Amino acid sequence: MDEFQDWPVKKPLLFTLVHPESGRKSIRKHLVPGARKDLLVCFSRPSDSGLNEGCGFDRMITLDAMDHEGFVHNDAFAVALSIRQTVPTKFLD
C-alpha cells in the first residue's frame, strides 16, 4: 500500500481516542503535517527499520483519566486514524 501513498504525508490527520460506549465522549485531535516543515520527518515514508521520528500531542488525556472516564475496556483502548482532505474549522486548536 505504501506505493499508493504520497510521501511525506501532508494531508490533515484526525486522531480519535474512541470511547467504547459513546461516540460523543470520544476525543478528537487534528494534526496537519504539511503546515509545519519540522513535522514532515515524522510523516516520511517508513525506512527499512520501520521507525520514523515520533510526534504527537502533549496532553491529549492521562492514563488515569482514560480509565476513570471509561475509555479502557478489558485492559484495552481503541485509537482511530483518518487522513482528511480538510480540517473542519471547529477542530482547529
CA-CA-CA-CA torsion for 25, 56, 31, 47, nearest 10 degrees? -130
CA-based end-to-end distance of the chain: 31
Classify residue 76: in a domain, yes or no.
yes
What digits encode the pLDDT tens for the residues 1-53? 567 778 888 888 999 999 999 999 999 998 888 888 888 888 888 878 778 88
Determine the longest span between alpha carbons in the chain, in angstroms.
Answer: 41
Classify residue 56: in a domain, yes or no.
yes
What digits encode the pLDDT tens for the residues 58-75? 788 999 999 999 999 999
Query: What is the pLDDT confidence band of residue 89, given thresholds at 50, 70 and 90?
Result: low
Classify residue 93: in a domain, yes or no.
no
Classify residue 92: in a domain, yes or no.
no
Question: Distance between CA 83 and CA 9 in Å, rounded?
Answer: 9
Q: Domains in the chain: how many in total?
A: 1
Domain of 49, in residue numbers? 2-86
The residue written with cell numbers 504527537 in the block is: 56
